[in-house]
A and B are shown apart, each in its own frame.
Chain A
Amino acid sequence: MTEVSMTVNGVSVGGSVEGRTLLSSFLREQLGLTGTHVGCDTSQCGACVVHVNGDAVKSCTILAVEANGAEVATIEGQAAEDGTLSVVQQAFQDHHGLQCGFCTPGMVMSTLALLKDNPKPSEAEVRKYLEGNICRCTGYHNIVRAIMAASGQDVAIAAE
């Protein structure tokens, strides 16, 4: 067992983990941050995306020990203190960019990373960027619209 410590959503946390413990398991099982989801075991689905030191990372692809000392951000840290949704979260709700919600935390965290690098992406760029995030429910149509809207670009509301 190894002791790790890191900052998650601005809070210092620590725990003892096995060498093989993935960051996704550490977040879910040891910290109880179950918003980060695990949808596969081959690093393909993106349900587990979090930010590590500002970069979007599939938390099932790194070990908890590798995140030792890092700044980690998860879906739980995205809304304001009073519960107000962030711009990206609000756009997902406004444009019906989620159904079962399982892919959603990863989608939101990936979107934040995309918009940081490319604040006004084209629709094609959005679709390309989401290659690592699988959604089985929405057909991506409304996810793409949500992301366009979150980047301040015009889209009609979902029902029209």
Chain B
Amino acid sequence: MPKDHGIGASPKRREDIRFLTGNGNYTDDMNIAGQAYIHFLRSDVAHGTINGIDTAAAAAMPGVVKIFTSVDFEGVGGVPCGWEITDRQGNAMQEPKHPILAEGKVRYVGEMIAAVIAETADLARDAAEAIDLDITDLPAVVNMRAALVDGSPKVHDDLTSNLCYDWGFVEENRDAVDAAIKGAAHVTTLELVNNRLIANPMEPRVCIGDYDRSSGDSTLFTTSQNPHVVRLLMGAFVLGIPEHKLRVVSPDVGGGFGTKIFHYAEEAFSTFAAKVCNRAVKWTSSRSEAFMSDAHGRDHVTKIELALDGDNNFVAVRTDTHANMGAYLSTFAPAVPTWLHGTLMAGNYKTPLIYVNVKAVFTNTVPVDAYRGAGRPEATFQLERVIDKAAIELGVDPIALRRQNFVTEFPYATPVAVEYDTGDYNATMDKLEQMADFAGFEARRAESEKNGKLRGLGVNTYIEACGIAPSNLVGQLGARAGLYESATVRVNATGGLVVMTGSHSHGQGHETSFPQVIAEMIGIDESMIEIVHGDTAKVPMGMGTYGSRSLAVGGSAMVRATEKIINKAKKIAAHLMEASDADIELKDGTFSVAGTDKSVAWGDVTLAAYVPHNYPLEDIEPGLEETAFYDPANFTYPAGAYACEVEVDKETGQVTIERMMAADDFGNIVNPMIVDGQVHGGLAQGIGQALLEGCIYDDDGQLLSASFMDYAMPRADDLPNFEVDHSCQTPCTHNPLGVKGCGEAGAIGSPPSVVNAVVNALRSGGADVTHVDMPLSPSRVWEAMQS
């Protein structure tokens, strides 16, 4: 019998009511009396020298309030980067200034050059068209390898080259890895591209800056996944506004997927301009602007080598990756190809020696940063592809080869600096085998063959590091912030609770799932609990939502704060019942004295906390509100096994996903319905990367995939029904809920199984092919079929 309440139940989502009736409160739905509108004039060349910006004609146009260029930002900081990488020589990465509006040069198509504030959005746009730009084109550099060649055009004149850093991990292992590869019985080498993607949450970014001259308070409404981080970065590093004079609000946010984590120049601009103009100013990104201004994702070019001994045991892995940073460093950009990628190169396997080299490169393209999975999909893809290739070369079963090399004992310290606390990779693979009916595959293949189709089966595993933290570790790794989470639980006199969390929900359903946890702890109904998030004026501090961390880190903070509440409430109950604290039990919202029939209800205790007529005033203060900051001891390590079955049309190369299966281990589950939904969404994005999506620049740095007409978003028709399971559960050992996180798994786990399946299909048709680069467009597949 499924639970209908508390942890493990799937209550209907309470936030759905407002979204289904048109009552959501997204940033663009908000308007402030007297607001003006912003239009940004963006560069249409990838690289050029700005000789002059003539705004005179534009400024004279109707409705124009003010026009800003970089001269208005003298003395204002650039957009900061939140992570510093130390290179192989022990030097800090090269870090260029990231101005709010272009200074002297433009470095990518879409970079902001000027901004018009006008009475309406249309008038602002009209005036921007009247700005006269004098820009001398410079040669652009788009290709990462070309960018590192001596004599290449430089993206930043004040840096020594286009190399941001050359990172080795673990550097001390380098020689041992080289030697192991030299001496191995078999080495499989694979070169591949992890295609550049655009996150495209359906809600484009929006900012509203506001300023109150009488109080000197600034407010920014923004479509952010982490308003507190925006407040800190923008307040402290860009505009010089202390936290108590700056409020950042992220109301309902229409999807993020990573690209709304970062602090963007548009946010700082809006906050700054509101003060200068002394009125609210609003910017709503068009989708076309989003394509050229939201941080992009992935974009790695990799060579991976897998060395095996004579018994097919993995003995070493060596990788060489070029990672595109774009023209400037976005908030987390340097961490993605390093700490979120190199540390995952052990995968689910006990490979003893691993060396990862990453060269991060500046190019004349939009900044690249975290997109759903961030570094971990890139690690999983290369590892799971090279294993399949090795299986082909060695003539062994790809699943048996994986199983033979699985980590089976926990905790397991990898050679790439992380320790997996729990897992059972054979269990998820067993589950997958059950779901996928591998035994029936040949019959299904024969059926496809009758219809002129090739059928392929691809399998892979994945592991990810989620719940990003602990602070002392990430601090050593170059993070410039802590990565805890905070929660304040306020119990009102009549027993209802308000929980203020630093996590941010932009589709994850926290307003429903978080109360399930607290309801379970106290034994009260979820309807007594309200979640407040997304407003720095209401929530003390927060690190936001990304890296599948909300429940593992934010949820744990809530548990800690609730534990403090329960402890204090037990003291009050003990006083009311004239018993000792130690004898008080809390069950189903009632406090009782062990071994007696004495009890008081939750509401009696909460009322006593605020009406302390009969109260242990000498021991404890009145009131019932507690805050906890939770800083985890380790990452969490969700893992799983995925399978995909495809059909490939022999005539056209068109790939159809027939089945997509995911067996995940997320540890304990709070809301199975929401977990299923998270996996579905991740699978769709992973299949999108594998089959459809690709961000394309031409050699001059023009973005060719600049709208939904040119960038193929997965549609309902492109996807199958998904088969997902999360019954294998090895609870995380170091957080109070035993949860691991589920938000990114689908996007990490699915691309390799799709490509493995297509390669399998093509080989069954006689093609001598071991890899096809994503996205697997019909033309690429057709070409591969001819080999």
The interface of chain A, by Cβ under 8 A from chain B, is 18, 20, 28-29, 33-42, 44-45, 47, 74-76, 78-79, 83, 85, 89, 92-94, 96, 98-105, 108, 123, 126-128, 130-131, 133-144, 158-160
Q: Which residues of B contact A33 (CB under 8 A)?
A: 22
On whether the beta carbons of A138 and B19 are closer than 8 Å, the reply is no
Question: Which stretch, B55-63, B238-246, B707-715, touches the partner chain A?
Answer: B707-715
Q: Which residues of B contact A20 (CB under 8 A)?
A: 122
On whether the beta carbons of A75 and B721 are closer than 8 Å, the reply is no
Q: Which residues of A contact B717 (CB under 8 A)?
A: 127-128, 130-131
Q: What 0/1 readout, one digit per residue, does chain B (62-78) give for beta carbons within 8 Å of chain A?
A: 00000000000000000
Task: Give A85 to B674 CA distance when docked, in angstroms.
Answer: 21
Taking a contact as CB atoms closer than 8 A, the residue among B21, B202, B286, B721 that contacts A144 in the complex is: B721
The interface of chain B, by Cβ under 8 A from chain A, is 2, 10, 12-13, 15-24, 26, 28-29, 31, 122, 200-204, 252-255, 257, 286-288, 506-509, 672-674, 676-677, 680-685, 707-709, 713-717, 719, 721-722, 746
Q: Which residues of A contact B713 (CB under 8 A)?
A: 134, 136
Taking a contact as CB atoms closer than 8 A, the residue among B13, B31, B202 that contacts A103 in the complex is: B202
Q: Which residues of A contact B672 (CB under 8 A)?
A: 159
CB distance from A114 to the nearest CB of B (A): 11
On whether the beta carbons of A42 and B255 are closer than 8 Å, the reply is no
Taking a contact as CB atoms closer than 8 A, the residue among B2, B26, B122, B683 that contacts A102 in the complex is: B26
Give the secondary structure class of B's interface.
loop
Q: Which residues of B contact A28 (CB under 8 A)?
A: 28-29
Say yes or no: A76-B287 contact (C-beta < 8 A), given A96-B677, A99-B255, A136-B255.
no
Task: Give A135 to B200 CA distance when docked, in angstroms.
Answer: 10
The chain A residue sitting closest to B256, CB to CB, is: A100
Give the secondary structure class of A's interface.
loop
On whether the beta carbons of B202 and A94 are closer than 8 Å, the reply is no
Could you list some 7 contacts between A and B, CB below 8 A?
A: A76-B23, A98-B16, A103-B202, A139-B680, A139-B714, A141-B721, A159-B2
On whether the beta carbons of B721 and A99 are closer than 8 Å, the reply is no
The chain B residue sitting closest to A78, CB to CB, is: B21
CB distance from B299 to the nearest CB of A (A): 19
Q: Which of B20, B252, B287, B676 has the most CB of A within 10 A?
A: B20
Q: Which of A79, A133, A140, A142 has the most CB of B within 10 A?
A: A140
Task: Give A149 to B175 CA distance when docked, in angstroms.
Answer: 60
CB distance from A72 to the nearest CB of B (A): 13
Q: Which residues of B contact A100 (CB under 8 A)?
A: 19, 201-203, 252-255, 506-507
Task: Give A66 to B645 CA distance when docked, in angstroms.
Answer: 48
Task: Give A75 to B16 CA distance when docked, in angstroms.
Answer: 13
Q: Which residues of A contact B287 (CB under 8 A)?
A: 39-42, 45
Q: Which residues of A contact B746 (CB under 8 A)?
A: 139
Taking a contact as CB atoms closer than 8 A, the residue among A40, A42, A101 that contacts B19 in the complex is: A101
Q: Which residues of B contact A130 (CB under 8 A)?
A: 715-717
Q: Which residues of B contact A160 (CB under 8 A)?
A: 2
Q: A93-B12, A135-B202, A140-B716 are in contact. List 15 more A-B contacts (CB 8 A).
A: A41-B707, A99-B507, A99-B681, A100-B255, A101-B18, A102-B24, A102-B254, A104-B20, A135-B716, A136-B685, A139-B680, A141-B721, A159-B10, A159-B672, A159-B676
